[in-house]
Amino acid sequence: MVDRGSGWRGVLGAMAIVTAVCHGAGAQSATASAMKAAFLLNFVKFATWPPDALAPQQPLTICVDGDAEVAGALRQMIGVQSVEYNQLTLEVVKNEGSLRHCHLLYVGGRALEPPMRWRDAIKGAAVLSVGDGGGFAAQGGVIELFVESGRMRFNVNLAAAQSARITLSSRLLSLAKIVRDDGHVQHD
């Protein structure tokens, strides 16, 4: 079981280890996928869903659309992990109709077409949407992964998080760049 309120140094340490592996000689897509999977698991640990969307003892479902390598990396990392009292489960998306039950939806670059398909499928649902495509957060996704200066970073769209009724930890937000739906990056 993982307590969302503690272990932030451990989270940063885990991210640093994955980052170091990915920056090693000959970093390949498998290591990039492992890095994305580690970020996704940490996002789950520092997000809170409303009680009507995620009750204690209810499985917390991580869905992956369009990236089999990230799904494979997550499958290896999840094992029998839980976050607080919620067992983590993984599901590979087969069609858009099955997205509303996801707690976290990761949309890989290949699944971003047609544009906004994922957004329409989860509209009004408490789904933490994460994507690695350019402009994902500006298109209404909650978190967008990107590489900057050889390091994995992330943007957060606070309006999208609020619309999804997802609360993100201030610790997580302190590491993010905040963007609006129009793509504007807010600086401190």
pLDDT tens digits, residue range 28-41? 455 899 999 999 99
- What's the pLDDT at 144? 95
In this prediction, residue 25 has a pLDDT band, given cuts at 50, 70 and 90, of: very low
What is 91-143 written as a DSSP string?
EE--SGGG-TT-SEEEE-GGGG-STTHHHHHHTTS--EEEE-STTTTTTT-SE
- What's the pLDDT at 2? 36
- What's the pLDDT at 41? 94
Nearest to 116 by CA among 133, 93, 91, 98: 133
Kindly report the pTM of this predicted structure: 0.80
CATH 3.40.50.2300 for domain 8-186, yes or no, is yes
- What's the pLDDT at 97? 66
Nearest to 77 by CA among 68, 85, 86, 89: 89
Distance from C-alpha of 110 to C-alpha of 114, rounded to nearest angstrom: 10
- What's the pLDDT at 121? 86
Mean pLDDT of 121-138: 90
Identify the burial level of 58 via C-beta atoms within 10 angstroms of its C-beta, where 0-12 means exposed, 13-18 middle and 19 or more buried.
middle
Identify the burial level of 77 via C-beta atoms within 10 angstroms of its C-beta, where 0-12 means exposed, 13-18 middle and 19 or more buried.
middle
Distance from C-alpha of 174 to C-alpha of 177, rounded to nearest angstrom: 8
- What's the pLDDT at 110? 65
* 4-18, 48-62, 158-172: range with lowest mean pLDDT: 4-18
Distance from C-alpha of 162 to C-alpha of 72, rounded to nearest angstrom: 30
- What's the pLDDT at 85? 72
- For residue range 61-113, what is the model confidence (pLDDT) as tens digits? 999 988 999 999 999 998 766 677 788 999 998 776 678 899 999 998 766 66
- For residue range 136-168, what is the model confidence (pLDDT) as tens digits? 898 899 999 999 998 999 999 999 999 999 999
Judge whether residue 21 has pLDDT over 60.
Answer: no
- What's the pLDDT at 96? 62
